[in-house]
Amino acid sequence: MPEIIETTVYRLDELSDAARGKARDWYRQSGFDYDWFEFVYDDFERICAIVGVDLKTVPVRLYGGGTRGKPCIWFSGFWSQGDGACFEGRYSYVKDAPRKIRDHAPKDVELHRIADALQAIQRRNFYQLHATVTHRDRYYHEYCMAISVERDSPTDQDMTADAEETVIEALRDLARWLYRQLEREYDYLTSDESVDESIAANAYTFTAAGRRFG
């Protein structure tokens, strides 16, 4: 014979502190099965375009049919020493990048520094430098990017002695910047305040011990 079992369920703010902690842990483990990093990626794409990085894309299928170009950006995090972010693409000079990046992110001094460094080295090489960035190895951090720097000089003039290192470090710094933004976004989304808001918005209920009900 079927039996009817009654269970009392609670909203998050009705739980004890210990049970509330368990409820939050449940959400942190199961509530991130979506691309929570997409907004960070979108901003990074705009920043890359400003400083002169044309990100490589690969086609991905859409639910409604057709395809779209997905940028080649990857990361792993945020708990191991080898975690980080990387990308693939091609860098070349873009006019007024330092001014444009300040318009886009007026308070981000690290982006200002990266754009200024690229502008300065391009000036010393008559704006003829370009670089190809590819991913290597099975990890995702700035040192997994193979960066090849060349100069397109009509007279076959060599690049300045500091050009290769400067461009490589600037592009790796850009990957480091991306990783910090991803880490900051993750820390925000997994904070108690943000988790509590998400649980309340979804009207999740729990047992007295903090286990998800239903």
Judge contact between 129 and 167, C-beta under 8 A: yes
The DSSP secondary structure of 67-123, one letter per residue, reads EEEEE-EEEE-SSSTT-EEEE-EEEE--TTHHHHHHHH-TT-HHHHHHHHHHHHHHH
Choice among 91-100, 146-155, 171-180, 195-204 with the minimum mean pLDDT: 195-204
Each residue of 90-128: pLDDT tens digit?
999 999 999 999 999 999 999 999 999 999 999 999 999
Choice among 2-6, 37-41, 85-89, 95-99 with the minimum mean pLDDT: 2-6
Each residue of 132-151: pLDDT tens digit?
999 998 899 999 999 999 99
State the Cα torsion 181-184-189-194 to the nearest 10°.
-130
**What average pLDDT does the structure give for the chain?**
93
Q: Locate 154 and state its tokens.
A: 């009509």
Cβ burial, residue 145 (10 Å; 0-12/13-18/19+): buried
Judge contact between 178 and 171, C-beta under 8 A: no
Choice among 1-15, 36-50, 137-151, 169-183 with the minimum mean pLDDT: 1-15
Residue 62's pLDDT band, with cuts at 50, 70 and 90, is confident
Residue 210 in this model has a pLDDT that exceeds 80: yes
Residue 37: other Cβ atoms inside 10 A: 20
Residue 152 in this model has a pLDDT that exceeds 70: yes
